[in-house]
Amino acid sequence: MRIGFKGEDIRERLFLATGMMPELAVVPFISMVVNNAFFTAQRLGIFTLLERGPQTAEAVAEQAQADEHAVQVLLEALTGFGYLQRRDGTFELSRAMRKSLSGRSAEMARSMLEFAPDVARKFETLDEAVKTGDVADFHFNPVNADQWGHYLTFLKQSAGRPTKAIVDKIELENPRRMLDIAGGPAMYSIAFCERYSELESVILDLPESAREGEEEIKKAGFENRISYVVGDIFTTDWGTDYDLALLSNMLHCFKVDDCRTIIKHAYEALNAGGTMIVNEPGFPGKDEQIDTFAAFTSLLYFTVTGGRTHPTPSIETWLKEAGFEGVKRQKGGNQVQVIGRKPK
C-alpha cells in the first residue's frame, strides 16, 4: 500500500507528472483538511442525519445545533471529497459512502467511523508525546465518555480475520486451559473454545472489556467455559496450570522492558509443554524496508498507548530469552503469529 494522489482527469494527471506539485509535501496538507472535515462531521452526527435521507444545509445545521454558514461550507467540502453528493439544494450520502455503510463490511466501516474521531483527539498531543516520550494510555485515560464503547465495537468487528488465522492454522494438542492475556471482548477465547471442545479459557483484562465480553460469552453459550480475571496485568495474579497462553494485539501497547516482563510471566504461568502464541501486526527487522501498513500501525499505537509495533525478530528473541523452544513464525494477512513451546 502506498499513500498518494491520482489525477481525476488528463489535466490533473499531466500536472502531477510535471513534478510541480511535490506530492510528499502536499499529501499531509490535503489529508489534514480532508481528515478534519470528516472528523468534524462525525462528531456532529452529520453522517447519521444524512443517512436518513437528503437534507438542506439549514436543516442539518438546526439538528446539529451548528451555524448554517459553517455547515454549508462543510457539506460542500464533504461533497468534493466524495463523502456526500448534492441535488436540488439538498445533501445526501454519496453512493460510495452508502455502499460502505450497507455492504458486507458495513459493521466494520461503522465501527471505524465512530472510533476514528477519538483517535484523532490523541493525535492532537503527538508533538508533546514525541518530545517527552510520555503518552497517556487511552485504555486508562479515555478522551471522552464514549471512547470505550467505540473501541470495543471496533475490536469486535476487526477481530475476525486474525482470529481465524490463528485458530485455523495453528495445530494444538487438545489444550485444556487457556490464558487469554488482555483478551478484550472474548473473541479469541470463543473461537478457540469452538474448535477445542474440552478447552476452558481465562481472560485477563480491564473491567470495561470484561463487561462487554461477558455478553459475547453468553451469546456463544460458553458461560461455563470462559471466565474473566479483572485487573491490571502487572498487579493481578494470573494463576498457573495453563496449556496455552495467547498475547494477541497487546504487546504493541508497551515498551520493550514491559514486553519482556509480560512474556516471562506467561512462561511461568504455562505448564511444561505449553504453547505460547503472540499475535501482532508484522514489522520488519533492522534495515529492512518498512511498508505503509507497518508504519501506520506503529505510529498509531505509540500515539494512543505509548507503545509501538515491535519488530517481529525482536518478539522471537524475547520468547527465546524467556525460555521458549522451537520459536517460529507464521503470517496471516498483515498479522504475524510468533509461536513457542515451554520445554517439557
* pLDDT tens digits for range 303-330: 999 999 999 999 999 999 999 999 999 9
For the chain, give every residue range classified as CATH 3.40.50.150.
155-341
298 pLDDT more than 80: yes
Confidence bin at 211 (pLDDT 50/70/90): very high
- The predicted model gives 224-251 an average pLDDT of 96
186 pLDDT more than 70: yes
* Of residues 108 and 48, more confidently modeled: 48
* pLDDT tens digits for range 45-99: 999 999 999 999 999 999 999 999 999 999 999 999 999 999 999 999 999 999 8
The CATH number fitting domain 10-100, selected from 3.30.70.260, 3.90.550.10, 1.10.1060.10, 1.10.10.10: 1.10.10.10
Structure confidence at residue 39 (pLDDT):
92
Structure confidence at residue 106 (pLDDT):
76
164 pLDDT more than 80: no
159 pLDDT more than 90: no
Nearest to 154 by CA among 116, 205, 121: 116
For the chain, give every residue range classified as CATH 1.10.10.10.
10-100
Cell of 170: 495453528
Structure confidence at residue 203 (pLDDT):
98
Q: What fold characterizes domain 155-341?
A: Rossmann fold (3.40.50)
- The predicted model gives 19-28 an average pLDDT of 67
What is the pLDDT of the chain when averaged over all its residues?
Answer: 90
Structure confidence at residue 111 (pLDDT):
84
Share of the chain above pLDDT 70, in %: 91
- Please state the three-class secondary structure of the chain as a single string: CCCCCCCCCHHHHHHHHHCCCCHHHHHHHHHHHHHHHHHHHHHCCHHHHHHCCCECHHHHHHHHCCCHHHHHHHHHHHHHCCCEEEECCEEEECHHHHHHHHCCCHHHHHHHHHHHHHHHHHHCCHHHHHHHCCCCCCCCCCCCCCHHHHHHHHHHHHCHHHHHHHHHHCCCCCCCEEEEECCCCCHHHHHHHHHCCCCEEEEEECHHHHHHHHHHHHHHCCCCCEEEEECCCCCCCCCCCEEEEEEECCHHHCCHHHHHHHHHHHHHHEEEEEEEEEEEECCCCCCCCCCHHHHHHHHHHHHHHCCCCCCHHHHHHHHHHHCCEEEEEEEECCEEEEEEECCC
* pLDDT tens digits for range 329-341: 998 767 899 999 9
